[in-house]
């Protein structure tokens, strides 16, 4: 066990846990952040995506011990931002949400991408989202949603 | 209950390693998958663990004296955006996993994982990567082909740690990296291939070829490469049959759930041919990297 | 575009983008125990003995002896046990559950259990037929007797795994008088009926509630009944809530998949070089239990002449039992296998006879009024010719065909023509399903849809409300749709077979008309509609004769590829498709179904490799079983051509499965044309292309 301190959705938190635990389990079970999903458990599907210091990461393969002093943002924290509003509206407008299981992770991957590259090309979007599997949409509506968000959210990123 | 260590400095990490011999966890992207159990449970680590990702001292990329030094905590993502990293290594890194993994996985981890299909390995082999191994007693530098012993097996004692990786900062005339996976991104390689060539007065002065996922470790045969020195550049295409014959006996891939032995072998031989053809045509015209 | 097609925001988008939607793994119940399945490590064996460790307080084993009712999962054919009894028939077959509060302890107990087996000779080949059907149209014997030559074709298709992003899972809640199943599912009443049979319970003893469902694609049609039965038995025995939720590897290894198939054709070529008759045989691998394989076989067989009118047709088919994981429902339900085969076969006949494949196919294209393969009739207008022309135009098909035919180009373009029968095969709706739908007008003048149709992402929560709102002339916000709960909704049938809009939506539309007449502000009114088969439908279930479906949706897919001659990897360069699904209830939702379905079909045809070696699935996780990422997908150009179906709500037909059906043949043909070698199996992987280039 170890005392792990980090910033979770803009609040300082501290937890006494086995540091080899998956960040995913800590977020879901200890903090009740169920928007973080487990789709594969091996870092392949992106359903468990969170932001670590603003960059998307697969929380199922991040040990808790690696988030010391880091800033973690889950969909629950992200949904309070203006960027979320723009992304949500773009996803809705483009019809990019079907079963929704990949969507919290997909939104955070979109945020991470736009944060680095506010005007991504189509290929850059496809590449930026390539770690987030979606089996419902065929991805095109998601790609268009990110394009739309980049336009309507001009200046936010 | 296993113990976890969180050193604050590199020196402290060496002391802990010397005293308690814990296993090292860096980005964790390979280990956490290997040891995972039922969701909600800690992974099944049976040894004490030392966490090193918080050591900012090991997060650096430096370019000095014809060499590039990459600290053990440098993530794959950071390599992609650093001006000093050779394009061919960036290409290999970009082909690896997904953004979410590249943000946390490290180059040192990819080496320590010693997977025959490790995507950066063929590039590191042709860039003559050396692994700097630290311990309380001494610092060792070892060639990557001596460091990686077999699938998942490396020459690292329990008191030691990978401190940094050193690669050549060589300006080749022509370089090529190819990876074949089951899809365009986020796939484990079926085969990977890296090669580079330099010439002076249209004669080959340096030729390097490394092949991944066709043998227990990356195949790079320096004596073959030496035989190719002094080949006239305009004859490179003609010798491709010869070169393929040289490598053929050493390409012994397996068939598994990702591909077949025959297919892997075909790709590699075709890559050798393509490399020699393209290199012959490009050199002298413009220095280039084949994307 | 008609008014109803105009897109509106989906009901559930906000709760999904914000991460608030509750999927089964997100639901926590006080005192809930976890269950883990002990599975067979043999592909076929007798269980001689099971040595159990001492169980600590609070830990339990549940197996077949705890089942109060029958040890069968109620699917169409009841041969799959809930828990193995004396024999195991596939690797991974569930034997018992270990249940308790601490997962670590459960794993320890699982590891401590020793099962002593006596191995039996397993079967992996197509040797034991367990279902056989055949039908004949016209007279093939005469056609073959008069033939100047015959042409054969043999086609093989592999497994396909659903990879819904959310793995399978259920929670069983205990109450003295009632077991309640919460879960990720398509068909609440399938589960309810299955659990009733296992528990020996009556209607009131079992309740099923759908949780937000993270994708299904047929994978959550019948499989959830198995784990619901297991969890229910455990819950009933222990009088506690029990959760049984799979992780990805367990899901891939042990849940149903698309049936691998082997399809053989012989065509009789008449004196004027026309196809006068076709004989076809379909073999499906059911895995260890039959389940609904017989119905999958029927759909495959009925599609044997594709979109073409073949005068003399003789089709037979067998389901073969093998000692491997049972196969089951998957979007398309037998049609993707057959459409790959028949489209390739028609292409190959044309090439063999030196015809232009497309002109050749158009010559046989079914016309309005033609007899269907089973001797029914295509009653509604067929607009396929216009659709093909549209597809030509938007894809620049003819120019590319010529341009790519040059040697050494390694580019190819392929076109598939396909249809999908909407709703259950034959008289399934009338005889077996008997759908009931209610609308309840509430006192506040809102209207609640009472139907068991689930939304698993495909948008039923939005489209069904649109239908009701449109007819009642209310705003969509005034129509309430909740996730089905069998205590509150009647059985309107399972959410399968491209039936939800056409059949259930049709019933909602009729109920809405009724309610509109009876409307009284401020009062509660309930109206009900029951399915009535159109009078003209006649179907002989044993002989497979008559009208197999009340209506058909149609499609054309054009795919363009470029093959890398160094690695034989294939890059998708273009995807164009045209559909007739009647009238779209919501265009954006339909396009979403099309784009997702088409990509599943394309990757079924070129990417998704799953092999079963000696009864063991080799690709056991999403690292090894590859599905497309955003980088593998490309922009798709989709055209919907309105063709109103008089019996569908607002003229709508089925759309859910259709887009998957055309993907594989289109991409396989494009690859065939790019490499100039005959493709006869999917997936067309680089490894297979290499073989073709070497040997072909």
ipTM score here?
0.98
C598 touching A, CB under 8 A?
A: yes
Outline where C440-566 has alpha helix (H).
460-472, 506-518
Tracing tokens 């932001």 back to the chain, one arrives at A51
Structural domains in chain C (count): 3
Cβ-in-10-Å burial (0-12, 13-18, 19+) of B281 comes to middle
Last residue of a domain, one of B129, B148, B168: B168
C535 φ/ψ angles, rounded to the nearest 5 degrees? -55, -35
- Are C186 and C216 in a shared domain? yes
| Pairwise CB contact (< 8 Å): B263 & C629 | no
DSSP code for C375: B
Asked whether the beta carbons of C544 and C298 are under 8 A apart, the reply is yes
Q: What is the pLDDT of residues B168-188, one digit of tens each?
A: 999 999 999 999 999 988 899
Length of chain C measured in residues: 696
- What pLDDT score does C407 carry? 78
Report the CATH number at residue B271: 3.30.390.50
Q: Which residue of C has its CA nearest to A28?
A: C26
Looking at the structure, tell me whether residues C76 and C179 fall in a common domain: yes
Question: Which chain B residues touch C611 with a CB distance below 8 Å?
Answer: 257
pLDDT band at C256; cut points 50, 70, 90: very high
Chain B's closest residue to A58, CA to CA, is B100
Say how many CB pairs under 8 Å bridge A and B: 118
* Count: domains in chain B: 2
| pLDDT > 70 fraction of chain C, expressed in percent and rounded | 100
Q: Which long-range contacts (CB under 8 A, 24 or more apart) does C101-105 make?
A: C101/C33, C101/C34, C101/C58, C103/B38, C103/B40, C103/B41, C103/C34, C103/C36, C104/B41, C105/C56, C105/C59
**In this structure, are C581 and C676 located in the same domain?**
yes
> Cβ contact (<8 Å) for A43 and B29?
yes
Domain end position, chosen among C211, C230, C254:
C254
pLDDT greater than 80 at residue B286: no
Q: What is the pLDDT of residue C696?
A: 66
pLDDT exceeds cutoff 60 at C237: yes
Asked whether residue C664 carries a pLDDT value surpassing 60, the answer given is yes
Q: What is the pLDDT of residues C518-548, one digit of tens each?
A: 999 999 999 999 999 988 889 998 999 999 9
Q: Kindly tell me the sign of the dihedral angle through the C-alpha atoms of C588, C651, C640, C502.
A: positive
pLDDT in tens, C47-80: 999 999 999 999 999 999 999 999 999 998 889 9
Residue ranges of C 233-272 with Cβ closer than 8 A to chain A: 247-249
pLDDT score for C427: 87
Residues C560 and C684 in one domain: yes
Query: Which residue segment(s) compose the domain that C93 sits in?
Result: 31-121+163-254
- What range does the domain containing B64 cover? 4-168
For C597, phi then psi, to 5°, come to -65, -40
C471 and C385 together in one domain = no
For residue C138, tell me if it sits in a domain. Answer: no
Which residues contact residue C37 at a Cβ distance below 8 angstroms, ignoring those fewer than 6 apart?
Answer: C94, C95, C96, C97, C230, C244, C250, C254
pLDDT number for residue C537: 87
Contacts of A96 (CB under 8 A, 6+ apart): A90, A103, A106, A137, A141, A142, A144, A145
Same domain, C244 and C362: no
Considering the domain boundaries, does residue C265 fall inside one?
A: no
Q: Is C432 in the same domain as C419?
A: no
Q: Looking at the structure, tell me whether residues B144 and B227 fall in a common domain.
A: no
Does B266 sit within 8 Å of C690, measured CB to CB?
Answer: yes
With cut-offs at 50, 70 and 90, classify the pLDDT of residue C2. Answer: confident
Q: Could you give the CA distance from residue C305 to residue C291 in angstroms, rounded to a whole number?
A: 26
Residue range C339-366, pLDDT digits in tens:
999 999 999 999 999 999 999 999 999 9
- Report the distance separating Cα C289 and Cα C624, nearest Å: 26
The verdict on residue C312 lying in a domain is no
Residues C468 and C611 in one domain: no
- Token pair of C572 as six digits: 């998708």
Backbone angles phi, psi at C226, to 5 degrees: -65, -55
Residue C188, in any domain of the structure: yes
Mean pLDDT of C101-105: 98
C206 pairs with which residues across the strands? C179
Asked if pLDDT for residue B290 goes beyond 80, the answer is no
Q: Which residues in B172-208 are b (16+ Cβ under 10 Å) and which e?
A: bbbbbbbbbbbbbbbbbbbbbbbbbbbbeeeebebbb
Is A129 touching C (CB cutoff 8 A)?
yes
Q: Is pLDDT of C33 > 70?
A: yes
Are residues C56 and C170 both part of a single domain? Answer: yes
pLDDT attached to residue B289: 52
pLDDT higher than threshold 90 for residue C695 = no
Query: Does C18 fall in a domain?
Result: no
Question: What are the φ and ψ backbone dihedral angles of C384, each rounded to 5 degrees?
Answer: -60, -35
Residue numbers in B near C107 (CB within 8 A): 37-38, 41
Same domain, B216 and B96: no
B17 with B136, same domain: the answer is yes
Same domain, B15 and B124: yes
- pLDDT greater than 60 at residue B288: no
- Facing A19 at nearest CB: one of B4, B41, B77: B4
d(CA C108, CA C102): 10
The backbone torsions φ and ψ at residue B230, rounded to the nearest 5 degrees and listed phi first, read 75, 5
What integer pLDDT is reported at residue C536 of this predicted model? 86
Sign of CA dihedral C673, C675, C677, C678: negative
Q: Which domains does chain A have, with CATH numbers?
A: 2-76 (3.10.20.30), 82-152 (1.10.150.120)
Q: Does residue C459 surpass a pLDDT of 90?
A: yes
Residues facing C49 on adjacent strands: C116
A46 in B contact zone (CB under 8 Å): yes
**Which pair of tokens denotes residue C466?**
């649109």
Burial class (CB in 10 A: 0-12, 13-18, 19+), B290: middle
* Bridging pattern class, strands B130-134 and B139-143: antiparallel
Is residue C288 situated within a structural domain? no
Q: Do B38 and C631 touch (CB under 8 A)?
A: no
Contacts of C118 (CB under 8 A, 6+ apart): C45, C46, C48
Cβ–Cβ of C629/A74 closer than 8 Å?
A: no
> Does residue C168 share a domain with residue C79?
yes
Of A24, A44, A56, the CB nearest to B103: A56
Is the Cα torsion angle B153, B155, B159, B161 positive or negative in sign? negative
For chain B, the distance separating the N- and C-terminal CA atoms, rounded to the nearest angstrom, is 49
Q: Count Cβ atoms below 10 Å from residue C405 Cβ, excluding itself.
A: 13
Q: Residue B291 pLDDT > 70, yes or no?
A: no
The alpha helices in C98-202, defined as continuous H runs, are 103-112, 140-145, 188-199
Separation of alpha carbons C477 and C589, rounded Å: 18
Does a structural domain hold residue C266? no
Give chain C positions within 8 Å (CB) of A135: 162-165, 215, 217, 596, 600, 627
Q: Do C626 and B263 touch (CB under 8 A)?
A: no
Alpha-carbon torsion angle C500, C501, C502, C508, nearest 10: 100
Task: Assess A65–B contact: CB distance below 8 Å, yes or no.
Answer: yes
Does residue B178 belong to the interface with chain C, where contact is any CB pair within 8 Å?
yes
Q: Does B182 touch chain C (CB under 8 A)?
A: yes
Residue B267: which of C36, C104, C567 has the nearest Cβ? C567
Termini Cα distance of chain C? 48
CB C256 within 8 A of CB C325: yes
C319 assigned to some structural domain: no
- Closest chain A residue by Cα to residue C454: A99
Residue where a domain terminates, one of B112, B140, B168: B168
- Inter-residue contact C510 to C529 (CB < 8 Å): yes
Q: What is the pLDDT of residue A100?
A: 98
B24 lies in the same domain as B119: yes
Those residues with Cβ within 8 angstroms of residue B47's Cβ, 6 or more apart along the chain or in another chain: B2, B22, B23
Among A44, A68, A112, whose Cβ lies nearest the Cβ of B54? A68
Q: What pLDDT band is residue C414 in, cutting at 50, 70 and 90?
A: very high
b/e map C5-38, b = 16+ CB within 10 Å: bebeebbbbbebbbbbbebbbbbeeeeebbbbbb
Name the neighbours of A, counting chains with at least 3 Cβ pairs within 8 A.
B, C
Q: Are residues B193 and B93 in the same domain?
A: no
Contact C184, C24 (CB under 8 A): yes
**Same domain (yes/no): C403, C369:** yes
- Tokens describing residue B68: 């590039």
Q: Where residue B75 sits, what CATH number does that domain have?
A: 3.30.465.10
| Residues of chain B neighbouring C410 (CB-CB closer than 8 A) | none
Ramachandran area for residue C364 (φ above 0: left; ψ -120 to 50: alpha; else beta): alpha
Q: Are both B193 and B285 inside the same structural domain?
A: yes
Quickly state the pLDDT bin for C1 (edges 50, 70, 90).
low
For residue C145, is pLDDT > 80?
Answer: yes
Kindly state whether residues C391 and C454 are assigned to the same domain: no
Question: Rounded to a whole number, what is the distance in Å from the CA of C693 to chain B's nearest CA?
Answer: 12
A49 touches chain B (CB under 8 A): yes
Which residue from B187, B257, B263 is facing C686, i.e. has the nearest CB?
B263
The pLDDT tens digits for C462-515 are: 999 999 999 999 999 999 999 999 999 999 999 999 999 999 999 999 999 999
Q: What average pLDDT does chain A have?
A: 97
CA distance B168 to chain C (A): 29
pLDDT at A114 > cutoff 90: yes
Name subunits touching B (3+ CB pairs < 8 A). A, C
Chain C residues with CB inside 8 Å of A79's CB?
Answer: 17-19
Between CA B269 and CA B271 the distance in angstroms is 5
Mean pLDDT within B68-88 = 97
Q: Give the C window 414-473 contacts with A, CB below 8 Å.
A: 456-459
Indicate yes or no: CB of B185 within 8 angstroms of CB of A130. Answer: yes
Q: Are C317 and C134 in contact (CB under 8 A)?
A: yes
Of B151, B168, B185, which residue is a domain's last?
B168
pLDDT at residue C68 in the model: 97
- Answer whether C162 touches A (CB < 8 Å): yes
Of A140-144, B286-290, C57-61, C332-336, least confident by mean pLDDT is: B286-290
Is residue B284 pLDDT above 90, yes or no?
Answer: no
How near does any CA of chain A get to the CA of B92, in Å? Answer: 15
In contact, C504 and C463? CB cutoff 8 Å: no
CA–CA min distance B180, chain C (Å): 8
Q: What is the mean pLDDT of the segment spanning C293-301?
A: 97
CA C674, C676, C681 angle in degrees (round to 5)? Answer: 85
User: A79: nearest CA in chain C?
Assistant: C18
The pairing of beta strand C206-210 with beta strand C178-183: parallel
Best of A46, A48, A58, A113 to disrupt the B interface by mutation (most B CBs within 10 Å)?
A: A58
A102 to chain C: which residues are within 8 Å by CB?
Answer: 165
Residue C636 touches partner A, C-beta closer than 8 Å = yes
Residue numbers in A near C164 (CB within 8 A): 99, 101, 135
Query: Residue C111: its chain B contacts at CB < 8 A?
Result: none
- Encoding tokens for residue C544? 């497979």
pLDDT average, residue stretch B115-136: 97
Across B73-99, average pLDDT: 96
Average pLDDT over residues C299-313: 98
CATH number at residue C455: 3.30.365.10
């Amino acid at each position: 066990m170890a005392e792990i301190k980090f910033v979770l959705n803009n609040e300082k938190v501290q937890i006494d846990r086995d540091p080899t635990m998956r960040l995913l389990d800590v977020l879901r079970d200890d903090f009740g952040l169920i928007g973080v999903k487990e789709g594969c458990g091996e870092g392949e599907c992106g359903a468990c995506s969170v932001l670590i210091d603003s960059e998307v990461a697969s929380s199922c393969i991040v040990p808790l011990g690696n988030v010391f002093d880091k800033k973690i943002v889950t969909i629950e924290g992200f949904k309070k931002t203006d960027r979320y509003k723009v992304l949500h509206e773009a996803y809705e407008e483009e019809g990019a949400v079907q079963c929704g299981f990949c969507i919290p992770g997909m939104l955070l991957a979109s945020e991470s991408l736009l944060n680095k590259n506010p005007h991504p090309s189509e290929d850059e979007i496809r590449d930026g989202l390539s770690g987030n599997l979606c089996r419902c949409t065929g991805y095109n509506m998601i790609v268009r949603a990110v394009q739309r968000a980049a336009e309507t959210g001009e200046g936010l990123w | 209950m296993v113990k976890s260590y969180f050193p604050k400095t590199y020196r402290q990490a060496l002391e802990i390693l010397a005293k308690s011999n814990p296993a090292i966890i860096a980005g964790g992207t390979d280990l956490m998958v290997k040891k995972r159990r039922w969701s909600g449970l800690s992974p099944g680590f049976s040894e004490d663990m030392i966490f090193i990702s918080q050591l900012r001292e090991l997060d650096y990329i430096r370019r000095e004296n014809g060499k590039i030094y990459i600290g053990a905590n440098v993530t794959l993502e950071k390599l992609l955006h650093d001006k000093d990293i050779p394009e061919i290594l960036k290409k290999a890194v970009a082909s690896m996993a997904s953004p979410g993994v590249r943000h946390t996985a490290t180059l040192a981890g990819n080496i320590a994982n010693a997977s025959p299909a490790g995507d950066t390995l063929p590039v590191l082999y042709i860039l003559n990567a050396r692994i700097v191994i630290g311990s309380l007693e001494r610092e060792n530098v070892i060639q990557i082909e001596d460091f990686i012993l077999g699938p998942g097996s490396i020459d690292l004692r329990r008191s030691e740690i990978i401190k940094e990786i050193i690669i050549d900062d060589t300006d080749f005339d022509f370089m090529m990296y190819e990876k074949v996976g089951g899809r365009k991104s986020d796939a484990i390689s079926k085969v990977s291939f890296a090669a580079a060539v330099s010439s002076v007065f249209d004669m080959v002065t340096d030729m390097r070829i490394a092949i991944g996922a066709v043998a227990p470790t990356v195949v790079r045969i320096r004596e073959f490469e030496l035989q190719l020195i002094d080949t006239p550049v305009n004859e490179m295409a003609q010798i491709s049959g010869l070169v393929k014959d040289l490598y053929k006996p050493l390409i012994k891939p397996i068939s598994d759930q990702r591909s077949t032995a025959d297919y892997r072998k075909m790709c590699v031989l075709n890559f050798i041919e393509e490399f020699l053809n393209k290199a012959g045509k490009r050199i002298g015209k413009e220095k280039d990297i084949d994307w | 575009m008609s008014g109803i097609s105009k897109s509106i925001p989906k009901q559930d988008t906000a709760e999904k983008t914000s991460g608030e939607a509750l999927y089964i793994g997100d639901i926590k119940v006080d005192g809930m125990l976890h269950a883990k399945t002990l599975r067979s490590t043999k592909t076929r064996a007798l269980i001689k003995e099971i040595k159990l460790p001492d169980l600590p307080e609070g830990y339990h084993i549940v197996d077949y002896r705890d089942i109060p009712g029958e040890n069968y999962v109620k699917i169409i054919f009841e041969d799959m046990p809930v828990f193995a009894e004396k024999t195991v028939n596939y690797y991974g077959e569930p034997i018992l559950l270990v249940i308790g509060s601490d997962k670590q302890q459960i794993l320890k107990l699982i590891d401590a259990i020793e099962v002593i087996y006596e191995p039996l000779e397993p079967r992996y080949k197509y040797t034991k037929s367990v279902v056989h059907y055949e039908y004949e149209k016209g007279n093939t014997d005469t056609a073959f007797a008069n033939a100047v030559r015959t042409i054969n074709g043999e086609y093989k298709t592999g497994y396909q795994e659903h990879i819904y992003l959310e793995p399978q899972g259920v929670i069983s809640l205990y109450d003295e008088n009632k077991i309640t199943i919460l879960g990720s599912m398509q068909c609440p009443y399938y589960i309810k009926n299955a659990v009733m049979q296992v528990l020996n319970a009556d209607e009131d003893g079992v309740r099923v509630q759908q949780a937000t469902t993270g994708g299904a694609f047929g994978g959550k049609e019948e499989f959830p009944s198995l784990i619901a039965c297991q969890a229910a038995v455990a819950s009933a025995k222990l009088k506690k809530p029990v959760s049984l939720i799979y992780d990805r590897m367990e899901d891939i290894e042990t849940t149903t998949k698309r049936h691998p198939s082997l399809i053989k054709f012989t065509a009789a070529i008449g004196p004027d070089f026309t196809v006068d008759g076709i004989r076809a045989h379909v073999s499906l691998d059911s895995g260890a239990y039959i389940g609904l394989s017989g119905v999958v076989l029927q759909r495959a067989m009925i599609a044997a002449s594709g979109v073409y009118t073949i005068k003399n047709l003789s089709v037979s088919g067998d389901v073969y039992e093998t000692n491997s994981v049972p196969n089951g429902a998957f979007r398309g339900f037998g049609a993707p296998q057959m459409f790959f085969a028949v489209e390739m076969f028609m292409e190959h006949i044309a090439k063999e006879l030196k015809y232009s494949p497309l002109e050749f196919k158009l010559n046989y294209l079914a016309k309005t009024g033609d007899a269907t393969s089973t001797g029914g009739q295509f009653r509604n207008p067929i607009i396929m010719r216009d659709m093909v022309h549209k597809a030509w135009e938007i894809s620049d098909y003819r120019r590319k065909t010529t341009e790519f035919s040059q040697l050494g180009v390694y580019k190819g373009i392929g076109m598939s023509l396909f249809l999908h029968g909407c709703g259950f095969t034959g008289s399934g709706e009338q005889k077996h399903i008997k759908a009931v739908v209610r609308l309840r007008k509430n006192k506040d003048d809102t209207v609640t849809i009472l139907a068991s149709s689930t939304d698993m992402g495909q948008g039923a929560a939005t489209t069904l409300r649109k239908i009701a709102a449109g007819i009642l002339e209310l705003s969509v916000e005034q129509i309430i749709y909740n996730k089905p709960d069998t205590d509150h909704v009647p059985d309107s049938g399972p959410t399968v077979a491209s039936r939800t809009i056409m059949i259930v939506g049709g019933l909602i539309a009729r109920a809405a008309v009724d309610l509109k007449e009876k409307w009284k502000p401020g009062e509660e009114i309930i109206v009900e509609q029951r399915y009535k088969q159109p009078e003209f439908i006649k179907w002989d279930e044993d002989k497979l004769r008559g009208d197999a479906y009340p209506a058909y949706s149609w499609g054309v897919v054009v795919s363009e590829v470029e093959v890398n001659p160094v690695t034989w990897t294939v890059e998708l360069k273009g995807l164009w498709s045209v559909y007739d699904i009647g009238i779209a209830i919501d265009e954006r939702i339909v396009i979403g179904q099309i784009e997702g379905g088409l990509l599943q079909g394309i990757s079924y045809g070129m990417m998704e490799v799953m092999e079963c070696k000696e009864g063991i699935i080799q690709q056991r996780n999403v690292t090894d079983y590859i599905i497309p990422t955003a980088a593998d997908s490309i922009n798709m150009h989709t055209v919907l051509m309105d063709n109103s179906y008089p019996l569908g709500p607002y003229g709508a037909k089925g759309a859910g499965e259709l887009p998957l059906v055309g993907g594989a043949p289109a991409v396989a043909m494009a690859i065939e044309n790019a490499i100039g070698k005959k493709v006869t199996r999917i997936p067309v992987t680089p490894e297979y292309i290499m073989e073709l280039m070497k040997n072909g």
